[in-house]
Structure 1
Amino acid sequence: MPKFAANLTMLFNEAPFLDRFAAAARAGFDAVEFLFPYPYSPAELAERLEANKLQLVLHNLPAGNWEAGERGIACLPDRVGEFQEGVGRAIEYAKALKVPQLNCLVGIRPAGVDADKARSTIVENLRFAAAALKQEGIKLLVEPCNFYDIPGFALNRSKETLDVLDAVGSDNVFLQYDIYHMQRMEGELGATIKAILPRIAHIQLADNPGRNEPGTGEINYAFLFTLLDNLGYDGYIGCEYKPRTTTVEGLGWLETVAGRKAAA
């Protein structure tokens, strides 16, 4: 049976962020993920995790000025120093919160930087991050994102991203496979997952169109969950979707699509 982690950036967002941990536990989740821990101290977050018996399975490297529209800085040649400092900061949080893996959003390629220069910058930054994280026993993940939601994002497809990981040449860099993003960019979800699963360290989900709960769109999640079970995927699946109404009202998909009863 799939294991699900509540993405606290998007789920239970009716509540202030620090209250979402308890809401996730009440709904039956034993694991969470979110974009960024950095607005809070490690001690604050560790207290919420421990009090609610939750495991934090993933957060992201610092990604620049999110509020201003930045979606990562790994592709920006003039911000390599900032990227490297962010890796160190992420490691501090990951060690304090016992996080086994960190995701890198590579960012939007800026005007004036050609694709080859952006790619080589990504490769060098990922090589640095993979080595630094390996010393701490933490996996580095890289996530391709669709260019409809994030125009100009530097990595959009699974094969393109795996080619970059090959160029990095590390055994500590993996793919984060977001089913929603890959449905929008390339489809062939089942065949692709089956072909590249050994290189996938984490999966995320949302349905399409709308990026809402499983069962609200065109993706056959019952099929994909069975496939992942049959393939032996034992990682978590991050629930990174926008609830159509409230989070709790929408959790029926855990029973109807995934075959797991929610506690909410």
Structure 2
Amino acid sequence: MEFSANLGFLFTDLPFPQRIAAAARAGFGAVEFHDQAQSEDLRLIGDLLRSEGLRLCSLNCAMGSTAGSAALAGEEARFRAEFLAARDAAEALEARAIHVMTGRVSGAGAEAVLLRNLEFALTCTDRLLLLEVISPATMPGYWLNSPERFEAVAAALPDPRLRLMADWYHFSQICGPAALSRLRGLAPHLGHLQLARAEDRGDPLAEGLPCWPGIRALALEQGLDIGLEYRPSLPPAEVLTSLRASVL
């Protein structure tokens, strides 16, 4: 288990390439991106990751104004172009996984569009494909807004490379007190975990997270990294120290 700095949330006072060195200085062993890499110099980013000794857990397909495009009818060409750009960045940077975003969409045909696009994506890469369940309260209209929808997709497309990225903040909003037990039930599908304070996506200090022992145990059992994707008010090094000290 390693802690990963989400560079879309942490060190955002710095230009994107400089966030990599900042994550290493703070004590992280890995990082993860949104879709920033696709507009950066990949050779430079790769050199920085290697020189700082950081693994890249995952990066996103393009988000755009629709928060992705994988479930949008009539946007299949857009999805393919965005996915191939993300795939090329993932391969150049040796990312373990690619996060595919479904987009904001409603209607009965969205799942069928998503399945076709995922089938295409799986033929194009050997990386894990991550789908994240996002709370409707945080992102109204996002198609993948419940664990049940993820389970339906996984049942229709039972490829072991298709995995769930589970963000504690979103799962807490969706599942309430049952969030941790729901995550345990989804353990065979998990590909990555993310952590933030449930109430406000703030600093996930161990002393304010009753769920932390259970999340840590789940990560260790499943061999998962934990991405810190939160809105910082404290230096990230302090959050890391808190999480690590609580399990010594």
- On whether the aligned pair clears a TM of 0.5, the verdict is yes
Aligned position for 2:108: 116
Please say if 1:146 is aligned against 2:135: yes
Retained in 2: the 8 A contact 1:127–1:170?
no
Residue-pair matches, total? 245
1:172 Cα offset (Å): 2.1
1:55 Cα offset (Å): 0.9
Match for 1:99 among 85, 95, 99? 95
Deviations 1:94-122 (A, max 9, x none): 1111111111111101xxxx521112111
What is the alpha-carbon distance in structure 1 between the residues aligned to residue 182 and residue 130 of structure 2? 18
Please say if 1:46 is aligned against 2:42: no
Aligned position for 2:146: 157
What is the alpha-carbon distance in structure 1 between the residues aligned to residue 10 and residue 53 of structure 2? 18
1:84 Cα offset (Å): 1.1
Aligned position for 2:194: 204
Between 9-18 and 214-223, the greater mean CA deviation after superposition? 214-223
SS in 1 for 2:203: coil
1:57 Cα offset (Å): 0.9
Between 5-14 and 251-260, the greater mean CA deviation after superposition? 251-260
Partner letter of residue 141 of structure 2? G
What is the alpha-carbon distance in structure 2 between the residues aligned to residue 7 and residue 54 of structure 1? 12
1:78 Cα offset (Å): 1.2
1:177 Cα offset (Å): 0.8
Retained in 1: the 8 A contact 2:133–2:165?
yes
Retained in 2: the 8 A contact 1:144–1:157?
yes
What TM-score, normalized by structure 2, do the two folds share?
Answer: 0.91
1:52 Cα offset (Å): 1.0
1:207 Cα offset (Å): 0.8
Within 5 A, what are the aligned runs for 1:1-264? 2-36=1-35, 37-63=37-63, 65=64, 69-109=65-105, 114-133=106-125, 137-187=126-176, 188-215=178-205, 219-228=209-218, 232-245=221-234, 248=235, 250-259=236-245
What is the alpha-carbon distance in structure 1 between the residues aligned to residue 203 and residue 237 of structure 2? 8
Partner letter of residue 259 of structure 1? A
Partner letter of residue 165 of structure 2? Q
Between 18-27 and 190-199, the greater mean CA deviation after superposition? 190-199
Partner letter of residue 2 of structure 2? K
Retained in 2: the 8 A contact 1:190–1:227?
no
SS in 2 for 1:29: coil
1:216 Cα offset (Å): 8.6
Q: Which has the higher helix share?
A: 2
What is the alpha-carbon distance in structure 2 between the residues aligned to residue 194 and residue 147 of structure 1? 22
1:24 Cα offset (Å): 0.7
Retained in 2: the 8 A contact 1:207–1:216?
no
Deviations 1:28-77 (A, max 9, x none): 111100101111021121121112111111001223x2xxx320111111
Partner letter of residue 202 of structure 1? H
What is the alpha-carbon distance in structure 2 between the residues aligned to residue 116 and residue 219 of structure 1? 38
Retained in 2: the 8 A contact 1:139–1:173?
yes
What TM-score, normalized by structure 1, do the two folds share?
Answer: 0.86
| Unmatched segments (≥5 aa) in structure 1 | none
SS in 1 for 2:40: coil
SS in 1 for 2:57: strand
| Unmatched segments (≥5 aa) in structure 2 | none
Retained in 2: the 8 A contact 1:58–1:102?
yes
SS in 1 for 2:165: strand
Retained in 1: the 8 A contact 2:90–2:96?
yes
Aligned Cα root-mean-square deviation (Å): 2.1
Deviations 1:97-154 (A, max 9, x none): 1111111111101xxxx52111211111112112222xxx211111110111111010
* Shift in CA distance, 144/217, structure 1 to aligned 2, threshold 3 Å: farther
